[in-house]
Copies of this chain bind each other. A is one copy, B any other.
Amino acid sequence: MSFQNPVFIPGPTNMPESLRKAVDMPTLDHRSPLFGQILHPALEGVKKVLKSETAKVFIFPSTGTGGWETALTNTLSAGDKVLAARNGMFSHRWIDMCQRHGLDVQIVETPWGAGLPADKYADILKVDADHEIKVVLATHNETATGVRSDIAAVRKALDAANHPAMLFVDGVSSIASMDFRMDEWGVDIAVTGSQKGFMLPAGLAIVGFSPKAMAALETATLPRTFFDVRDMGNGYANNAYPYTPAVGLLNGLNEACKMLLDEGLENVFARHHRIAEGVRQAVSAWGLELCAVSKDVQSDTVSAIRTPEGFNATDIVTHAANKYGVAFGVGLGEVAGKVFRIGHLGSLTDVMTLSGLATAEMCMVDLGLDIKLGSGVAAAQEYYRANQLAMSKAA
C-alpha cells in the first residue's frame, strides 16, 4: 500500500498539507502562556463548529470512544437508565460501553441501514412517566452503514414527551462534515474525534457539554479520572491541562477550525454533499445499492455499498489494498461481507474521488462482478462537471 494514493476509509481522512504541518510542531512548553494561545482558540473554534453558544468544550488526548466514555462517566451513575437504538456497529459499541459501566440500557433494535427510530423513542419516552431514562443516546452518522439519522427528530421526540432526559450524540463521523446544530437540536453532549471532519490524525476526543450536562457532573458517581471534565475545565482556566496535552494535535485542531470556518460551515457541508452525490451516482450506474435504506438517511461522509448475494464484499477491500494500494472500508458486524465502504469525508476533491471509484470498478471486475469499467466513473464525472461549487482554496 502506497502513500501516493488517497485513502477512501471513513476516517482517518486524507490530511491537508497545512494541517499536517500544524500538527508536526517542535516541543512547546505546555505550561507556558503560549500553550493557552493554542488551546483557547481551538476550544472556541470547536464551539463554532458545533454551532453552540453555550457548550463547554473539552478535548482529551484520546479518541471518539474516549469521548463516549467521557459523556457517560461524567454525567451518570451505575444503574442509571439509558435509551439507545442499535442500528450499526458504532451504536452497538456505545451500548456495550454503557453496559460495561453498569448502566441499564433500553435497546431499540433497528435494522442496519435504517436511521434512528425517533417515533419509537417518542413512544418509549412517553410511557416513561417517572423519567427513569436519564439519557437518550443517538449516533448521528452510523459509520458502519453510511446512515445519517435525524437528530432534530429525536429532540422532537423528547420534547413531545416533555421528557427531561439528556440527549447525547455521537457525531464522530458527522461533525465538521455534515450539518450539526448542538444548540438548536438541544444536544447535551456532542462527541467527536480529530480524525474525521477535522482532517487530523487520530488522538483527540472532542466533546461539548451543554449547561444541563455540566449540571449533571454534580450527581454523577461513575468513577472517572482521566476523563473527568472538572479537572480538565480547571486546567483550562489556567491555560493548562490536568496532564500532558497533545500540543501538536491541538495546534492542528485550531488550524482545522480556522480552515473550516474560513470556508464556511455551510460550504463545507455542501462540498461533502456534492462529493457524496457523485459516489452515489456511480453506485447507481454500477447497478448496486447502498446499505442506507432511503435517500433521506444517506450519509455524506461514507457510503456502504451492498454487493450481490453470494459475493464477499470484503474481498473488494482486500483486493484493492493488495493490487492497487488503495484503502476502502470493510463491512462491520451484521453487514460484514455484505457491504464495502467508501469514505468520502474531509479534504477530498472530485479528482481524488474519481480515482477511488475507478479503483473500485477495477476491483469488482477483477473479482468477477458484472460491472462495466468506467460506468460509475462516467456517472460521477457527469455529476461533478455539471455541479461545480466554487473552488476551495489550496490546502
- C-alpha spacing A304/B65, complex, angstroms: 37
A162 within 8 Å of B (CB atoms): no
Chain B residues with Cβ under 8 A from A203's Cβ?
Answer: 61, 203, 246, 249
Instruction: Indicate if the CB atoms of B201 and A31 lie closer than 8 Å.
Output: no
Q: Given that A63-B243, A202-B247, A324-B351 are contacting pairs, would A7 and B27 also be in contact in the complex, using a CB cutoff of 8 Å?
A: yes
Copies in the complex: 4
A110 within 8 Å of B (CB atoms): no
Closest to A376 in B: B374
Kindly provide the distance from the CB of A60 to the nearest chain B CB, expressed in whole angstroms.
8
Instruction: Indicate if the CB atoms of A395 and B358 lie closer than 8 Å.
Output: no
- C-alpha spacing A244/B65, complex, angstroms: 9
Q: Given that A3-B16, A244-B12 are contacting pairs, would A61 and B64 also be in contact in the complex, using a CB cutoff of 8 Å?
A: no
- C-alpha spacing A226/B163, complex, angstroms: 30
- C-alpha spacing A186/B230, complex, angstroms: 36
Chain B residues with Cβ under 8 A from A74's Cβ?
Answer: none
- C-alpha spacing A330/B34, complex, angstroms: 16
Kindly provide the distance from the CB of A40 to the nearest chain B CB, expressed in whole angstroms.
16
Closest to A18 in B: B3
Instruction: Indicate if the CB atoms of A247 and B201 lie closer than 8 Å.
Output: yes
* Most B-side CB within 10 Å, residue of A16, A62, A245: A62
Instruction: Indicate if the CB atoms of B395 and A2 lie closer than 8 Å.
Output: yes
Q: Given that A1-B394, A391-B325 are contacting pairs, would A97 and B225 also be in contact in the complex, using a CB cutoff of 8 Å?
A: yes
Contact of A358 among B6, B13, B228, B351 (CB under 8 A): B351
- C-alpha spacing A202/B65, complex, angstroms: 19
A21 within 8 Å of B (CB atoms): yes
- Report A220-269 residues with CB < 8 Å from chain B CB: 222-228, 242-249
Contact of A12 among B30, B69, B350, B391 (CB under 8 A): B30
Instruction: Indicate if the CB atoms of A381 and B394 lie closer than 8 Å.
Output: no
Q: Given that A3-B394, A374-B374 are contacting pairs, would A17 and B26 also be in contact in the complex, using a CB cutoff of 8 Å?
A: yes
Q: Given that A247-B201, A355-B355, A359-B351 are contacting pairs, would A321 and B223 also be in contact in the complex, using a CB cutoff of 8 Å?
A: no
9 closest Cβ pairs, A-B complex: A374-B378, A374-B374, A29-B327, A355-B355, A24-B24, A202-B244, A354-B358, A65-B243, A373-B378
8 pairs of residues in contact across A and B, judged by CB atoms under 8 Å = A2-B391, A3-B16, A9-B29, A14-B26, A362-B384, A373-B381, A373-B385, A374-B374
